[in-house]
Copies of this chain bind each other. A is one copy, B any other.
Amino acid sequence: MADGPRVAVQPAPFDVAAELAALTAGRHDIGAIGSFVGTVRDSVGGRRLAAMTLEHYPAMTERALAGIVAEATQRWPLLGVTVIHRVGRLQPGEGIVLVLAASAHRAAALAATGFLIDWLKTRAPFWKQEHFDDGTSAWVAARSEDEAAAAAWGEAPPPPA
């Protein structure tokens, strides 16, 4: 990738159009851009959600994301990658995470997009806490489907303790 990947962890909202423009600015070798946006829903398991808090491990987060991006760049011929993850308190409808992957052809762009979000979900140190309308809060439990989705890409790193 000419300019290297863009990885950011921030409380501020991300601007998808600006990120797309930055990823493709002056680049005419890109033929395909896959993207994923994760957003805060307003209900979970039938309960109304008032807000969500994203906690993270600052010293490790960008390093973990950079490692995931490096792995994707090794697996596919990517021409650009952007990963932005928000932290702090978010309202329903707000964006949580943005992944962009650009390549000459769509197969690599779409596969890398799926890989990046699947690995991010199981390997980057973020934790979600849901705040409900009734004043209670709960930490989101990890889903076995997420582990399965990440493992399906193969070559997992050593299992954690």
A30–B39 touching, CB < 8 Å: yes
A28–B149 touching, CB < 8 Å: no
A34: chain B residues within 8 A (beta carbon): 34-36, 113
Contact residue among B24, B42, B92 (Cβ-Cβ distance under 8 Å from A39): B24
A37 with B39: in contact, given A16-B17, A27-B93, A93-B24 (CB under 8 Å)? no
Q: Among the listed stretches A2-10, A57-65, A66-74, A101-109, which one makes contact with chain B, having 4 or more residues with CB under 8 Å of it?
A: A101-109
A33: chain B residues within 8 A (beta carbon): 35-37, 39
A123, CB-defined interface residue at 8 Å: no
A32 to B: closest C-beta gap in Å: 6
Most buried by B among A27, A28, A42, A109: A28
Number of copies: 2
B16–A41 touching, CB < 8 Å: no
**Which A residues, 128 to 146, have Cβ-Cβ distances below 8 Å to chain B?**
145
A31, CB-defined interface residue at 8 Å: yes
A104: chain B residues within 8 A (beta carbon): 41
17 A-B pairs with CB atoms under 8 Å apart are A16-B16, A16-B17, A16-B20, A17-B17, A20-B37, A24-B39, A28-B92, A30-B41, A31-B38, A31-B39, A32-B37, A32-B39, A34-B35, A34-B113, A38-B106, A107-B149, A110-B117
